[in-house]
């Protein structure tokens, strides 16, 4: 176990270029997102009347904010932009994943170099399919969960404590998502290393406990 | 035989006694609750004047004419509450308020 | 004139295909059609005085939307034309299947509300009525959002009900109710009214009180209570008396000898809150001690005796003339008698889709848009006129308007002319923007920049504040400036131009600015932008931005790189 973890950290050192690329990637997104949030939040904060010049001022602020959520086109534009960012990043993820995995695979074979973009080109599409499968599997429980969560939301608006009723559903969903992700990850390992998806999946299942342990440590 | 019949007779008599005792208790029990269930109206009416009498004030039409009376309806209507239906006949006299033919 | 038109309002409830049901989705305010609650009006016979049957000269028409499934407007071709000034007499037999109450009329248990229950002839408007140049019929179907319109006249109505029923109706009985053949027969009479409604129930608790005041010679107020509200008699009477007294003083003598108030049962709530000449319905009796909505509803419906009853405006085309005016009168009396002041700023915020007030009732898209405009926006338009001209001139305007158009059919431009005559100036711009147009007001603080002009022991800051007018025009816009040292400054902008910049020099920089700090501009429906801070602590801003960004990043990071 310890050698595996140690080998893992050695890989990190070897994959340094990939790490730099990903770091820059995340940095750019973070900056863009911050600027977006700033443009929305600052005007709202500057308009919040405290101390309120009139006893109605703060109440009117909340009423108008709530109405704005459902009716204001600027609010809708922001929500669409956020959705767009989310979708775009989700679409890029499989390619990034492919690049990383291929790089690790090449390192295992003993080759050194930046195989990131080569990996993207070679395995991008197949990893994309994996991700589509993952997303479908993740979204599947929504069919049963969303009506239930909707009820919790409505009842929670009357009494905040009732929101806690939703927690087990959310936790179960997150757990399910984690399991699906890990299983598919192992299948991706198998695909890229050429040793077969099913056998990798089997390895993942057999070694699930240590895998979970490592995940928790890393988090 | 005899004990069975005796049992039946005995049960019958016991039931009858219980019935009479119960009725006796119900009717002659001095508890106010029971009395009021049998004579509620008498107890309540003098105390509260909240049951209003149906007053029907009848009036006569005045001779004053306040509007341009274009329409005059005479309606005879009958309500059937079980069928939720109104059967009616009406006579309407309409006066042409304009000048066009 | 060789054709007559009749409204057969109950046919609106005949099926889901009628115009009323399609537009309303089977709902009025908060009440929905109960199952198997359909209703209809079937004409069984129609004859002229000579006995000629007109039954094969009938046709349903749909001038508003062409919906052939809608039978709420009927055309009758006459065998002989009626000349101007002549009268024609027709006799009709009909059967009304009462719907289950959700939209004003029908039955709820034992309770019956018979409103719009007979074939009503449409209004024929002579030339110069409501500004029309040529005379003609005013024809409309019954819509989800519309109410009614009719001509004045005389009603003599005999009503047969089972003998345990009590009947409340427009007008007054001319003889005591007769018991014969196991039924009770009422004979009612009403004149100088344009509608006749009645209500019947075996459960009514009846009370009657006379009322008179300086402006009201003598009225019998008749209360028909649902048993659930039997202890609230005094509240109903007090509200009715206050309404009769003050509305008579402000808007003209109440000329009728009776005013009947019907309190429906809870199941009949859809029939509640409605006005008919000399008969009003309060809302359905539910709570044993309801709040001020009880008084408010009674006062509102009595207000309608003026704005609808005597000033018989066209509720299809100009609903604000009755709803907006009555809401204005209701607010005025509620404040005077009960000290209840409406929250106008909150009500204006709700008006997010303003629409012209002089618009056909069914052109308002949602039921909310109709109510928010004709009730709220309508009364705010009047309130703004009152603020502009002052209370005593406004009272004069209302007295003249209600005096001149009493028992007439007024239109919006008639009211506009009265305002212009009373103030001696044109109100075209105001009416074009806020009445015929769909404007609301919106004054905002757009920007604040602060410059340090002098530092040291006597610092000097110049704060520049941009105020803009995003909605309609207004006369005087108050602005409040507050500086960081607590000093306050008030200024007034005359509203000319689209925006104005105020440059203030002071020893302290500006902290915040607010337009209309007391929310006096009743028609302003966006209050968030009235207030702006000059600046905020950079750290506070950073923390807000950073936390929200991190939150979004975490969410995205769980699903993607």
For C517-547, what is each residue's pLDDT tens digit? 999 999 999 999 999 999 999 999 999 999 9
Name the strand (E) or helix (H) holding C362: none
CB-CB contact of C154 with C190 (8 Å): yes
Closest Cα to residue C553, out of A18, A44, A82?
Answer: A82
Of A6-20, A134-148, B79-93, C402-416, which gets the smallest average pLDDT?
Answer: A6-20
Asked whether the beta carbons of C190 and C206 are under 8 A apart, the reply is: no
**Considering only CA atoms, which of C153, C164, C160 is closest in space to residue C198?**
C160
pLDDT at residue C246, rounded to an integer: 97
Measure B83 CA to nearest chain C CA, in Å.
8
Best residue in C440, C465, C516, C531 for a mutation probing chain A (most A CBs within 10 Å): C531
Tens-place pLDDT, residues C488-508? 999 999 999 999 999 999 999
Give me the pLDDT at residue B30, please: 47
Sign of CA dihedral C378, C438, A78, A44: negative
Q: What is the DSSP letter of A63?
A: H
Peptide bond into C111 cis (omega under 30): no
| pLDDT tens column, C289-320 | 899 999 999 999 999 999 999 999 999 999 99
| pLDDT for res C208 | 95
Read off the tokens for C347.
Answer: 């009500």
Query: In the prediction, which pLDDT does C557 show?
Result: 81
What pLDDT does residue C421 have? Answer: 97
Per-position DSSP letters for A35-54, written without gaps between them: HHHHHHHHHHHHHS-SS-SS
Query: Of the ranges A8-22, C24-38, C221-235, which one carries the lowest mean pLDDT score?
Result: A8-22
| Average pLDDT score over chain A | 82
Secondary structure E strands in C427-459? 443-454
CB-CB under 8 Å, C560 with A92: yes
Q: pLDDT band at C38, cuts 50/70/90?
A: very high
Q: Is A207 on the interface with C (CB under 8 A)?
A: no
Tens digits of per-residue pLDDT, C423-465?
999 999 999 999 999 999 999 999 999 999 888 888 999 999 9
Q: Phi then psi for C442, rounded to 5 degrees?
A: -160, 100
What pLDDT is attached to residue B5?
Answer: 60
Q: What's the pLDDT at A218?
A: 72
When CB atoms are compared, the residue of C518, C528, C561 closest to A61 is C528
The closest alpha carbon to C309, from C113, C131, C145, C150, belongs to C150
Q: Kindly determine whether residue C93 and residue B72, on different chains, have CB atoms separated by under 8 Å.
A: no
The rounded distance, in Å, linking the Cα atoms of A86 and C553 is 10
Average pLDDT over residues A208-218: 75
Residue among C343, C512, C559 minimizing CB distance to A90: C559
B99 has a chain C CB within 8 A of its CB: yes
How high is the pLDDT of residue B37? 42
Q: Does B88 touch chain C (CB under 8 A)?
A: yes
Q: Are strands C531-533 and C58-60 parallel, antiparallel or unpaired?
A: unpaired
ipTM: 0.91
C343-357 average pLDDT score: 95
Task: Sketch the domain layout of chain A as residue ranges.
Answer: 1-124, 140-219
Tokens of A193: 């290393």
The CA distance from C155 to the nearest CA of chain B, in Å, is 5
Asked if residues A89 and A158 have their Cβ atoms less than 8 Å apart, the reply is: no
Indicate yes or no: CB of A45 within 8 angstroms of CB of C529.
Answer: no
Report the Cα C248 to chain-centroid distance in Å: 20
User: For residue C451, what are the β-bridge partners?
Assistant: C462
Most confident of A69-83, A130-144, C139-153, C362-376: C139-153
**pLDDT surpasses 80 at C180:** yes
Of the CA atoms within 13 Å of residue C275, those in its CB half-sphere come to 25
Q: Hey, is the C-beta of A30 within 8 angstroms of any chain C C-beta?
A: yes
C230-279 pLDDT, tens per residue? 999 999 999 999 999 999 999 999 999 999 999 999 999 999 999 999 99
State the pLDDT at residue B50: 36
Cβ contact (<8 Å) for C545 and A38? yes
Chain C partners within 8 Å of A64 (Cβ): 349, 526-528
Q: To the nearest whole angstrom, how far is the Cα of C377 from the nearest Cα of chain A?
A: 17
Q: What is the per-residue pLDDT for C225?
A: 95
**Interval C94-115: pLDDT, tens:** 999 999 999 999 999 999 999 9
Question: B5 CB near a chain C CB, below 8 Å?
Answer: no
Chain C residues with CB under 8 Å of A86 CB are 556, 559-560
A136 Cβ under 8 Å from any chain C Cβ: no
In this structure, the strands spanning C477-483 and C488-493 are antiparallel
Please give the pLDDT value at position B23. Answer: 58
Question: Do the Cβ atoms of C549 and A37 come closer than 8 Å?
Answer: yes
Whether C166 sits inside 8 A of B54 (CB atoms) is: yes
The string of pLDDT tens digits covering residues A77-129 is: 998 999 999 899 988 888 888 888 887 777 777 777 777 787 788 788 888 88
Instruction: Tell me how far apart the alpha carbons of residues A175 and B72 are, in angstroms, rounded to a whole number.
Output: 78
Which CATH number applies to C443-536? 2.60.40.10
pLDDT band at A201 (very low <50, low <70, confident <90, very high): confident
Q: Are strands B71-80 and C153-162 parallel, antiparallel or unpaired?
A: parallel
Whether residue C60 has pLDDT greater than 50: yes
Q: Which helix (H) or strand (E) holds A31?
A: helix A16-47
Quick check: C213 and C245 in contact, CB under 8 A? yes
- Chain C contact partners (≥3 CB pairs within 8 A): A, B
Low-confidence ranges of chain B (pLDDT < 50): 1-2, 30-53
The set of long-range contacts for A136-141, using a CB threshold of 8 Å and a minimum separation of 24, is A137/A180, A137/A184, A138/A176, A138/A177, A138/A180, A141/A173, A141/A176
Q: Do residues C438 and C354 make contact, with C-beta atoms less than 8 angstroms apart?
A: yes
What are the sequence ranges of the domains in chain C? 1-144, 443-536
SS3 state at A91? helix
- The confidence score (pLDDT) of residue B10 equals 60
Q: Is B44 touching C (CB cutoff 8 A)? A: no
Which of the four pLDDT bands, split at 50, 70 and 90, describes residue C412?
very high
pLDDT of the residue at C324: 97
């Amino acid at each position: 176990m310890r050698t595996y973890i140690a080998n893992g950290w050695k890989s990190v050192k070897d994959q340094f270029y990939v790490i730099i690329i990903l770091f820059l990637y995340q940095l750019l997104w973070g900056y863009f997102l911050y600027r977006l949030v700033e443009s929305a939040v600052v005007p709202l904060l500057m308009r919040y009347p405290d101390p309120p010049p009139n006893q109605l001022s703060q109440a009117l602020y909340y009423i108008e904010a709530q109405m704005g959520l459902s009716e204001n086109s600027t609010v809708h534009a922001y929500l669409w932009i956020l959705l767009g960012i989310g979708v775009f990043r989700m679409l890029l993820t499989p390619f990034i994943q492919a690049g990383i995995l291929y790089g690790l695979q090449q390192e295992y074979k003993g080759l050194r170099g930046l195989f990131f973009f080569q990996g993207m080109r070679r395995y991008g599409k197949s990893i994309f399919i994996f991700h589509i499968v993952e997303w479908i599997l993740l979204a599947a429980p929504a069919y049963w969960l969303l009506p239930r969560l909707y009820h919790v939301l409505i009842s929670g608006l009357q009494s905040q404590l009732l929101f806690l009723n939703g927690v087990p559903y959310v936790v179960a969903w997150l757990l399910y998502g984690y399991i699906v992700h890990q299983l598919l990850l192992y299948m991706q390992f198998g695909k890229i290393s050429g040793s077969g998806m099913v056998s990798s999946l089997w390895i993942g299942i057999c070694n699930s406990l240590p895998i979970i342990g490592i995940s928790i440590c890393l988090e | 035989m005899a004990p069975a019949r005796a049992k039946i007779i005995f049960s019958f008599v016991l039931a009858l006694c219980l019935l009479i005792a119960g009725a006796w208790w119900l009717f002659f029990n001095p508890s106010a609750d029971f009395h009021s269930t049998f004579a509620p109206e008498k107890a309540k009416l003098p105390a509260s004047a909240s049951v209003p009498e149906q007053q029907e004030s009848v009036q006569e039409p005045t001779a004053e004419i306040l509007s341009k009376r274009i329409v005059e309806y005479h309606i005879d209507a009958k309500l059937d509450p079980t069928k939720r239906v109104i059967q009616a006949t009406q006579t309407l006299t309409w006066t042409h308020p304009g000048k066009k033919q | 004139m060789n054709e007559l038109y009749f409204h057969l309002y109950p046919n609106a409830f005949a099926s889901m295909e009628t115009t009323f049901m399609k537009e309303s989705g089977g709902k009025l305010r908060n009440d929905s059609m109960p199952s198997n609650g359909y209703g209809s009006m079937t004409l069984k016979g129609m004859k002229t005085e000579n006995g000629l049957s007109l039954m094969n000269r009938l046709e349903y028409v749909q001038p508003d939307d062409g919906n052939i499934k809608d039978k709420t407007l009927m055309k009758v071709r006459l065998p002989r034309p009626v000349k101007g000034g002549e009268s024609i007499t027709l006799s009709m037999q009909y059967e009304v299947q009462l719907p289950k109450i959700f939209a004003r009329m029908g039955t709820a248990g034992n309770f019956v509300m018979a409103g719009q229950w007979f074939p009503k002839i449409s209004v024929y408007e002579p030339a110069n009525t409501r500004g029309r140049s040529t005379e003609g019929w005013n024809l409309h179907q019954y819509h989800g959002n519309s109410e009614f319109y009719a001509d004045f006249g005389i009603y003599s109505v005999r009503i047969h009900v089972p003998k345990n029923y009590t009947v409340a109706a427009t007008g007054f009985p001319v003889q005591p109710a007769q018991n014969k053949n196991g039924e009770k027969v009422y004979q009612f009479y009403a004149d100088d009214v344009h509608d006749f409604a009645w209500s019947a129930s075996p459960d009514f608790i009846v009370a009657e009180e006379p009322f008179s005041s300086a402006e009201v010679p003598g009225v019998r107020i008749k209360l028909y209570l649902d048993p659930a509200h039997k202890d609230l008699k005094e509240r109903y009477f007090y509200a009715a008396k206050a309404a009769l007294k003050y509305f008579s003083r402000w808007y003209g003598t109440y000329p009728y000898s009776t005013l009947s108030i019907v309190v429906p049962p809870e199941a009949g709530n859809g029939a509640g809150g409605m006005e008919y000449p000399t008969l009003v319905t309060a809302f359905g009796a539910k709570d044993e001690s309801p709040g001020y909505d009880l008084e408010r509803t009674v006062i509102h419906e009595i207000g309608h005796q003026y704005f609808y009853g005597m000033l018989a405006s066209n509720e299809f085309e100009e609903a604000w003339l009755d709803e907006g005016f009555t809401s204005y009168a209701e607010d005025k009396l509620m404040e005077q008698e009960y000290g209840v002041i409406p929250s106008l700023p909150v009500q204006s915020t709700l008006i997010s889709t303003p629409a012209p007030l002089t618009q056909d009732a069914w052109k308002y898209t949602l039921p909310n848009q109709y109510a928010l405009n004709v009730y709220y926006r309508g009364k705010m338009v009047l309130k703004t006129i009152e603020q502009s001209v002052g209370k005593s001139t406004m009272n004069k305007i209302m007295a003249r308007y209600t005096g001149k158009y009493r028992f007439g059919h007024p239109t919006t431009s008639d009211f506009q002319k009265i305002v212009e005559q009373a103030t001696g100036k044109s109100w075209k711009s105001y009416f074009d923007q806020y009445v015929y147009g769909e404007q609301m007001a919106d004054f905002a603080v757009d920007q604040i920049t602060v410059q340090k002009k002098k530092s040291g022991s006597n610092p000097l800051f110049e704060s520049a504040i941009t105020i803009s007018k995003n909605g309609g025009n207004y006369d005087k816009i108050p602005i409040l400036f507050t500086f960081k040292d607590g000093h306050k400054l008030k200024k007034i902008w005359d509203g000319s131009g689209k925006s104005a910049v105020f440059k203030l020099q002071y020893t302290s920089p500006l902290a915040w600015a607010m337009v209309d700090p007391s929310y006096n501009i009743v028609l302003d429906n966006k209050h968030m932008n009235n207030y702006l801070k000059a600046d905020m602590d950079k750290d506070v801003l950073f923390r807000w931005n950073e936390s929200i960004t991190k939150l979004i990043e975490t969410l995205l990071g769980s699903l993607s790189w």
